[in-house]
Amino acid sequence: MLLALLAFTLALASGRAQDVGGVGSGTTSGSIIVYVREASGSPLTSPAEARLYRSDGTPRGRAMTSGAGQTTFRNLPLGDYYVEVEAAGYKTGRGEASLPIPVTTDVQIYLQAESEFIAEPVVSGPGSILAPKAKKELNAGLQALREGKLADAEKNLSAANALAPGNSDILYLLGILYVRLKDLPRAQSVLEKATQIDPHHARALAALGTTLANQSKFAEAIPPLEQSLQLNAHSWETRWTLAKAYYYKQRYEPALKESQAALQESNGKAPEIELLVAQALTATARFEESAQVLRKFLLNHPDDPQTPLARKWLERLKNAGKISGQ
């Protein structure tokens, strides 16, 4: 999952512009640097594929990241773009960037590990009492899924599903499997079935909401994420995803509320949530509060990869005359 740009707020509306070397030079193109990071903020060192699209969905290219979790798209026509990033063992991430003028801009994309949703067996929903053979296949599929043996997981879980059709736990794990296989429409389908069978399956609801968000279906993602949190209010990862979905739908007040709650519940595990809080505060015209959050982030995380970005946002607020020069 991924931080949105400050696309609707005064001087920040131009995106994360860094080097304005093209301005005044007669060029009509720009560049987008994609930084891919783990949820902790560390650069993703494993290979990842970044795909660039125009805002209307037109593909503009794809590239593999370097060992430092970075890649660059150059010579791009001016306009709005979004980037999708996929890496084995992680949920698909998405970010947006804008090139209103010839500049180099960057987009930071955070990937969450799939293990969040498969950390433990789920055996509490309707139909969860399984015959021994079906249970054996389910457990084998769960173990294979944890170990990243996706072909084995598909074989075992498909067998379990054939033996116990309509079991919400099996459908849930099949949904996670299809996410890992990068078949999001199929994952969405089985997760929808799982939540229809068991409307109280908190993990399935969270996985469905995340799968929808990763397809940019933010409006559809919000209800299952909200329902999941009603059942399990202590999942800060789900709350963070919900905050991002609210932000993308320009529902800034609930985005602020949920991001602040996610930040508190995370107990420092994901300090980059502070930046989403700052974005929501800026979007609701609480500029001084946003500046306080950014200053605190800079003070407490001087070596964080997001520090340069937080510093730029703070400078833009100052240059726009929205905060004092402290």
CATH assignment of the domain containing 292 = 1.25.40.10
Note whether 125 and 49 are same-domain residues.
no
Distances (CA, A) of 205 to 103, 141, 183: 40, 20, 18
Total number of domains in the chain: 3
Last residue of a domain, one of 211, 232, 253: 232
Q: Are residues 35 and 119 in the same domain?
A: no
pLDDT value at residue 45: 81
Q: Which domain holds residue 17?
A: 1-112
**151-182 core/surface letters (b: 16 or more CB in 10 A; e: else):** eebbebbebbbebbeebbbbbbbbbbbbbbee
Distance CA 290, CA 310 (A): 10
Taking the chain (326 residues) in runs of 10, the rounded mean pLDDT of each run is 31 31 50 83 81 85 86 90 83 83 85 61 55 92 85 95 92 91 90 95 92 88 96 89 91 96 87 90 94 94 81 89 79
Let me know whether 187 and 122 are in one domain.
yes
- In the prediction, which pLDDT does 239 show? 93
Asked if residue 256 and residue 226 are part of one domain, the reply reads no
What pLDDT does residue 22 have? 33
All residues at 6 or more sequence positions from 41 whose CB lies less than 8 Å from its CB, including other chains:
110, 270, 271, 272, 304, 305, 306
- Whole-number Å distance between alpha carbons of 243 and 275: 12
Residue 180 and residue 255 share a domain: no
Which residue reads 């060192």 in tokens? 45
Task: Provide the pLDDT for residue 34.
Answer: 93
pLDDT number for residue 102: 84
Within this chain, do residues 97 and 57 fall inside the same structural domain, yes or no? yes
**Are residues 222 and 128 located together in one domain of the fold?**
yes
Domain identity same for 67 and 86 = yes
CA distance 235 to 246: 17
Q: Retrieve residue 24's tokens.
A: 């005044």
What local confidence, expressed as pLDDT, does residue 24 receive?
Answer: 35
In one-letter notation, the amino acid at residue 85 is V
* DSSP notation for 162-227: HHSTT-HHHHHHHHHHHHHTT-HHHHHHHHHHHHHH-TT-HHHHHHHHHHHHTTT-HHHHHHHHHH
Last residue of a domain, one of 82, 112, 142: 112
Based on the fold, state whether residues 130 and 146 are members of the same structural domain: yes
| pLDDT score of 325 | 67
Asked which of 198, 232, 266 is the last residue of a domain, the reply is 232
The β-bridge partners of 64 are 49
145 shares a domain with 100? no
C-beta atoms surrounding 252 within 10 Å:
20
- Same domain, residue pair 172 and 193: yes
- 41 shares a domain with 108: yes
Note whether 170 and 129 are within 8 A (CB). no
d(C-alpha 1, C-alpha 285), whole Å:
25
> Residue 117: what pLDDT?
58
